[in-house]
Amino acid sequence: MSSIRVDNIAARGGTGTISIPTGNRLVGTDVGSIVTSRGVVQMQYITAMPTSHISTTVATEVSVPLIGPITPKFSNSVIKLEFFSTMQQGSANALITLLYRRINGGAWTLLTPYQAGAAARYAYAWGYNTTAWSPVRQIYYDSPATTGLVEYIVNYRLGSAGAIAYVVHQYMEYGYILTELKQ
């Protein structure tokens, strides 16, 4: 096997494009060994399938029993967080979901506050579900400004105590898809 060692590669002329002919490839031996100035750096997929419902009848917050962790490779990255439930049901009392983040095991920070009646972004928290059974996907873009461990968790509650609402139906999948986007 031959080796070539250089500090920079540039096109000899023309457009500045360096072509790799069909049938050939440039192979990075580690995640992050081939880096672009922007784009997807990594994805994490964390999922669970509970054997009983995850539900509530109260207006106090409870956490789902699953945390979404990611360790960004770049401190200026944006994290696209997706929380999904393949079968969720709100109620007349409204299932409310809230997103929290912590960095390096510190305190949880509420990213999507619930402020009933407020006219602001996330005034009704991250999700406000009053519908029948359906799949749900919630998306949030975060800039944690760290290369340390970043963890996300979803809390849930009702707008007012009463009817039962389900974050996840038994034997249905839920979880997080975390994508680090380099800026």
Q: For residues 64 and 172, is the Cβ–Cβ distance under 8 A?
A: no
Q: Is residue 30 domain-resident?
A: no
pLDDT 10s digits, 115-136: 766 665 556 677 877 778 899 9
Distance of alpha carbon 133 from alpha carbon 70, whole angstroms: 30
Question: Could you tell me the CATH number of the domain that includes residue 98?
Answer: 2.60.120
Residue type, 125: A
State how far the Cα of 150 lies from the Cα of 160, in Å rounded to an integer. Answer: 31
Total structural domains within the chain: 1
Please report the pLDDT score of residue 115 as a whole number: 75
In a domain, 178, yes or no: yes
Other C-beta atoms closer than 10 Å to the C-beta of 89 total: 22
pTM assigned to the model: 0.81
Has residue 127 been placed in a domain? yes
Residue 134's domain comprises: 39-182
Residue-level pLDDT at 120: 58
* Alpha-carbon distances of 179 from 81, 157, 159, rounded to whole Å: 7, 27, 30
Give backbone dihedrals phi and psi of 77, rounded to 5 degrees, phi first.
Answer: -75, 155
172 within a domain of the structure (yes/no): yes
- pLDDT of 178 reads 98
Average pLDDT by stretches of 10, the chain with 183 residues:
79 76 83 75 96 95 97 96 95 90 98 74 72 90 97 94 93 97 88
CA angle in degrees (0–180, nearest 5) for 74-72-174 = 150
- Please give the backbone phi and psi of residue 135, each rounded to the nearest 5 degrees, phi first: -75, 150
Asked whether residue 25 is domain-assigned, the answer is no
Q: DSSP assignment of 73-120, as one string?
A: SSTT-EEEEEEEEEEEB--TT-EEEEEEEEETT---EESS-B-TT--S
In a domain, 17, yes or no: no
Strand (E) positions, the chain? 39-48, 54-56, 62-63, 68-70, 78-88, 95-103, 109-110, 127-129, 134-142, 150-158, 165-168, 174-182
* Residue 32 maps to a domain: no
φ and ψ at residue 96, rounded to 5 degrees: -115, 130
Whether 6 is in a domain gets the answer no
